Amino acid sequence: MEENTLSGAFIGSLKRNNKEIREDRAAAIAEDAQLVYKRKIEDLEISIRKMQREQENMLDLSPATAHSLILASDFNCDDYVSKDIDLGIKIRQAEITLEIARQRYAYLFGGN
pLDDT digits (tens, 9 = 90+) for 4-57: 677 787 777 777 777 888 888 889 999 999 999 999 999 999 999 999 999 998
pLDDT > 70: what percent of the chain? 84
Please provide the distance, in angstroms rounded to a whole number, between the alpha carbons at the two ends of the chain: 53
Enumerate the H helices of the chain as residue ranges.
9-15, 18-57, 77-109
Q: Where does residue 87 rank: exposed (0-12), middle (13-18), buried (19+ CB within 10 A)? A: middle
* Predicted local distance difference test score (pLDDT) of residue 93: 98
Residue 3 has pLDDT above 60, yes or no: no
pLDDT digits (tens, 9 = 90+) for 43-83: 999 999 999 999 998 887 766 665 656 666 777 889 989 99
Q: Where does residue 9 rank: exposed (0-12), middle (13-18), buried (19+ CB within 10 A)? A: exposed
* Predicted local distance difference test score (pLDDT) of residue 4: 60
Q: How far apart, in whole angstroms, are the C-alpha atoms of residue 107 and residue 2?
A: 49
Q: How far apart, in whole angstroms, are the C-alpha atoms of residue 54 and residue 89?
A: 13
Output 11 or 96, whichever has higher pLDDT.
Answer: 96
The model's confidence at residue 101, banded by pLDDT at 50, 70 and 90, is very high
